[in-house]
Structure 1
Amino acid sequence: MLSPAQTELSWRIQFAARPLPPLGAVDVVQAGLRVGLRAVEGVREQGLRTGPVLCCLVHSLVHIPVEADTAYRWHAPQTLCRPGAWECSTDKQRSRYSRCAGVWLLPADMNHGSTDSDALFHRLSMTRSAGARNWGVRHGS
C-alpha cells in the first residue's frame, strides 16, 4: 500500500464490511493494489470526485466504487468492472480460494460515494504506462 512517505493526502481508515455512510448503487473497479492506489491518489490530487477504496490485503487488490452503469463500457486493461462486486473472485467453489480481508480507505474530506470513472480510467492508463516504461530497468547497476 502507500506509505506515509508516498502520499501527502489524508485518508481515514475503516475496518468494516461496507464503508459508513453506506454507498448507493455503484459499479466496482478492481485493480492491483499498487497501481489502483496510485491512480486514486492521482484523481484526488486533481481535485476530482473520489470515494472510498476497499483494499484487500490477502489478494493485493483494490475495489474502487464508480458510478453505476460503468461496467458495460469499461475496457481498461488488467482491471475488472462489475456491478456491486466487492469480492476478489466470483469463484468461491475453488478449494484454494482465500477469503478476502480488507480495510477501507476513505478520503478525509469524502463527500462522494464513488470515484469519477473517466478520471480513474485515465489515471490507471497513465500509471500503467509509467510502470511499463520502467519495466526491465536495472536499478543499482
Structure 2
Amino acid sequence: MGKATNILDEKSLSNDDMLEKYKAQQSCERGFRFLKDSLFFADSIFLKSPERIEAMAMIMGLCLLVYTLAQRQIRKALSASKSTISSQLGKSISNLTMRWIFKCFQSIHIVKINNDISISNLTSERKYILSFLPDKCRYYYQC
C-alpha cells in the first residue's frame, strides 16, 4: 500500500503532474465506455458460470486492446504524414476514433459472382483511410 499512497500523495506531485495523472485516466474510461456501448452487444449476453464470465471479460479486454492499438496506429500514421481525415461533422482531423473508422467501413461488402470476388462500396475515401493502416489490413480489402 506504500506505493499507492506515494503516487497519490499531494506532496510528492506538482499540480501539473497531478492534473496530468488525472487526465490520463480518461483514456482508460473511454475504453470501458466502448465496451458498454450498445454496438458491442454486451447487454445481450447472459452467462451463468463464473468461468464463462471471466472468459467473456478476457475477450472484452482483448477487444479493447485491439481497438486501442488500431486507433493508436491510425493516429500515429496520420500524425507522421501530417494528414487528416474527415470527421462526422466534415472537419479535417487527425485524432479520430476507431468507432468512426468502423462506421465508415460499415457498408463495405464482399461480392462473389461466378467465382469472381470483389469488394463493393470501396470508395476513394475509404482507400485513403486504408492507406494509414498496415499492409495486412489492406490485404482484406484487396488494396
The TM-score bracket by the shorter chain reads under 0.3
Larger radius of gyration: 2
TM-score by length of 2: 0.23
Larger relative contact order, structure 1 or 2 (CA cutoff 8 Å, min sep 6): 1
Greater helix content: 2
